[in-house]
């Protein structure tokens, strides 16, 4: 498919000016597939026109990643080289704006030993996590997408115009059309989400109760002072407002780590480490995942939940109505950026300390003391069935319906 250069330019500028909201004098770190070099050039130029001081690029390749895991020894891949650490140290100093453009093949790692992938990720993340903690919440960032042929074929395997259909869906969900003003559309959208978040924050719920006929029967405790947030965020270093995900439809918070009971049943497959986990459920007791079942990817799911102590606990609960434009597209994107914005979801692993008052200034340990989960991973999975009900429970035991039949009550 040949998207018009005008439309691509509009998308690139939306990413830079509204999503990441690059400011004069800032350094930008762009991560993008080598296949998308032409669009990358548009994004780079948009960054410079916004006043960026320097744009650095991390070129990504599914093919290279697969060949590395196919032929290189695990110990070699797991090692973080000195220059990689130096790069992270520089990022801690520069606090660059980070823009990540996804176009991955969902099946890129099919046939590769999931244990090897998990072990490599585990080793590397342990080394790099302190640097990530040091910059967490102190910079602007954006995750957006650029459709690729292989991704499109995964979504529409029997369609001769698969790439056209995926492009159409992506541009609709990010509110970029030939004859509209996407900046104005995003302003209207973020205002709506912020209004809903304000209502949730005013209720003072102490826990949430989920139920669906598919087997979801689950209760999770909330952190008393944690806020519900959504759509945008503010960089505390420079007070710049930005939108970290395009698309985004969620209102989220981090629940009390280690305080949940029951079973959550996924309604969509999960792509983790470029491999799929399908038809799965996770059961929690005393706040931790104690069992899981998957029709496909059982071993991978088990490894994910055992990455570290925090991987078996929840770090996020998020509310997304089934009227979401992503859900209205009517197909599975096989990409968490989109699929998590189709319906309600939860995440195992790391929580968000920024939902706490003054959270950006807390250390990881201080955030943990207040109930924010810490982990090497943060993995979203979708639980928003069409009949999902969610009730907010207050400290006095009274309840308020939040969701009925998969949407706002």
pLDDT digits (tens, 9 = 90+) for 264-308: 999 999 988 878 899 999 999 999 999 999 999 999 999 999 999
DSSP 270: E
Q: State whether 207 and 126 are in the same domain.
A: no
Same domain, 47 and 169: yes
Report if residue 239 sits inside a domain.
no
Asked whether residue 215 falls in the same domain as residue 271, the answer is yes
Counting the structural domains of the chain, the total is: 2
Place 1 in a pLDDT band, splitting at 50, 70 and 90.
low
Tokens 């952190």 — which residue?
A: 223
Strand partners, 251: 230, 319
Residue 403 makes CB contacts below 8 A (sequence gap 6+) with 319, 321, 344, 388, 389, 390, 409
Q: Give the mean pLDDT of 259-267.
A: 98
Q: Quote the CA–CA distance of 340 and 334 in Å, as a whole number.
A: 10
In a domain, 191, yes or no: no
| Overall size of the chain counted in residues | 409
Q: How far apart are CA 31 and CA 56, in angstroms?
A: 9
State whether 357 and 216 are in the same domain: yes
| H/E run at residue 32 | strand 27-33
318 and 276 in a single domain? The answer is yes
Same domain, 15 and 156: yes
For residues 161 and 210, membership in a common domain is answered with no
User: Looking up tokens 């970029």, which residue turns up?
Assistant: 176
Q: What are the tens digits of pLDDT across the range 29-87?
A: 999 999 999 999 999 999 999 999 999 999 999 999 999 999 999 999 999 999 999 99
pLDDT of 133 strictly over 70: yes
The two structure tokens encoding residue 340: 């998590």
Say what the pLDDT of residue 272 is.
86
- 125: domain CATH number is 3.40.1830.10
Q: Which domain holds residue 303?
A: 203-228+248-408
Of 157, 173, 189, the residue that ends a domain is 173
Q: Model pTM?
A: 0.88
Domain assignment present for residue 286? The answer is: yes
Residues 212 and 276 in one domain: yes
pLDDT tens, residue by residue, 170-220: 999 999 999 999 999 999 999 999 999 999 999 999 999 999 999 999 999
Same-domain status, 271 and 353 = yes
Residue 84 within a domain: yes
Query: Do 141 and 35 belong to one domain?
Result: yes
Rounded Cα–Cα distance for residues 273 and 307 (Å): 13
Cβ–Cβ < 8 Å for 212, 385: yes
Let me know if residue 236 belongs to a domain.
no
- The answer to whether residues 147 and 290 belong to one domain is no
Q: Is 347 domain-assigned?
A: yes
Residue 128 lies in a domain: yes
Residue 283 domain flag: yes
For residues 213 and 326, membership in a common domain is answered with yes
């Amino acid at each position: 498919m040949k998207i018009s250069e005008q439309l691509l330019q509009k998308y690139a500028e939306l990413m830079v000016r509204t999503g990441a909201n690059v400011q004069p004098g800032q350094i930008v770190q762009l991560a993008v597939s080598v296949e998308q070099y032409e669009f990358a050039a548009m994004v780079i130029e948009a960054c410079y026109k916004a006043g960026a001081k320097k744009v650095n690029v991390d070129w990504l390749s599914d093919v290279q990643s697969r060949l590395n895991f196919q032929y290189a020894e695990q110990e070699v891949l797991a090692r973080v080289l000195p220059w990689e650490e130096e790069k992270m140290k520089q990022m801690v100093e520069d606090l660059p704006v980070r823009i990540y453009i996804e176009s991955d093949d969902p099946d890129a790692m099919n046939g590769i030993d999931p244990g090897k992938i998990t072990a490599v990720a585990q080793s590397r993340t342990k080394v790099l996590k302190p640097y990530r903690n040091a910059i967490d919440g102190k910079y602007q960032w954006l995750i957006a997408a650029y459709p690729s042929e292989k991704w499109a074929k995964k979504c529409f395997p029997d369609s001769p115009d698969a790439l056209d259909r995926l492009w159409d869906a992506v541009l609709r969900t990010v509110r970029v059309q030939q004859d509209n003003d996407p900046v104005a559309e995003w302003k209207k959208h973020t205002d709506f989400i912020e209004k809903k978040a304000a209502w949730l924050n005013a209720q003072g719920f102490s826990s949430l109760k989920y139920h669906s006929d598919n087997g979801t029967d689950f209760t999770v405790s909330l952190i008393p002072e944690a806020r519900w947030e959504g759509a945008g965020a503010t960089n505390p270093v420079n007070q710049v407002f930005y939108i970290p995900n395009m698309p985004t439809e969620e209102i989220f918070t981090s629940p009390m780590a280690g305080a949940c009971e029951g079973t959550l049943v996924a309604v969509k497959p999960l792509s983790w480490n470029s491999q799929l986990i399908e038809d799965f459920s996770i059961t929690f007791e005393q706040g931790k995942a104690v069992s899981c079942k998957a029709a496909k990817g059982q071993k991978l799911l088990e490894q994910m939940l055992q990455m570290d102590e925090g991987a078996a606990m929840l770090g996020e609960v998020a509310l997304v109505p089934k009227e979401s434009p992503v859900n209205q597209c009517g197909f599975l994107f096989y990409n968490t950026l989109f699929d998590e914005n189709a319906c309600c979801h939860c995440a195992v692993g790391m929580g968000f300390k920024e939902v706490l008052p003054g959270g950006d200034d807390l250390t990881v340990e201080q955030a943990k003391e207040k109930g924010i989960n810490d982990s090497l991973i943060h993995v979203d999975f979708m639980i928003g069935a069409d009949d999902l009900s969610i009730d907010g429970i207050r400290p006095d035991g009274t309840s308020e319906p939040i969701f009925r039949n998969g949407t706002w009550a």
